[in-house]
Amino acid sequence: MSFIHLSLDLTTIDATTISPKPLEPPYHLFTLAQAGDNEMTRRALYPLVREGVLDDPGCRSGEFESYEDFVTRIYPTSYWPHRETTLLISHGQKWIALSTLAIDGTCARTGLTVVSKAYRGTGMATILKQHLLHICLAKGVQRVETRVAHINKPMLAINTKLGFVAIQDHSDSS
């Protein structure tokens, strides 16, 4: 699968250009940390992550881990350690969108961004990414990177609109 690697230099960006529009009730933005580490959180997160991975145009296998594997292998290594920078949006009680960020000093990397099918095209992914970029600015991050499957045109468009530029293309054979 071919991926496009994108980078955003936050030292050259005007924060007002990435200001998210506010969410109106019944939508609610929160962090994974605010949800807490419990069975209810893991049960709400799993279908959202599963949908995002399986619907990603870059998904090769068409398969996703069982809930048990997610809870024991993926959640404790990929989500909970980044709980303060994993953002979610709910619509009422249903979790409908997610975006992840890992910060390492002055560099950060965005991970999975997913919006449930029924809510796609509503600007939720852009709002999440904008909030993540504001977190980066507040934490002194200077550069943010991400990787997008070359055929994932909607996510490429969002990242480009936010100022990300391609830094290199890779063919991922793994």
pLDDT tens track for 36-65: 999 999 999 999 999 998 988 777 677 899
The pLDDT tens digits for 144-156 are 999 998 899 999 9
Model-level pTM? 0.92
Sole residue written with tokens 């499957």: 149
Q: At 47, which amino acid appears?
A: P
Q: 32: domain CATH number? A: 3.40.630.30
What distance lies between CA 154 and its chain's CA centroid? 13
Considering its fold, how many domains does the chain have in total?
Answer: 1
Q: Assign 79 a pLDDT band (cuts: 50, 70, 90).
A: very high
Mean pLDDT of 109-113: 95
Mean pLDDT of 89-104: 96
Mean pLDDT of 16-25: 89
What does DSSP say about strands 143-149 and 107-115: parallel, antiparallel, or unpaired? Answer: parallel
DSSP category for residue 79 = I
What is the structure's pLDDT at 63? 85
The domain in which residue 134 lies consists of: 2-171
Residue 170 has pLDDT above 60, yes or no: no
Q: Assign 2 a pLDDT band (cuts: 50, 70, 90).
A: confident
Q: Assign 172 a pLDDT band (cuts: 50, 70, 90).
A: very low
CA distance 19 to 98: 18
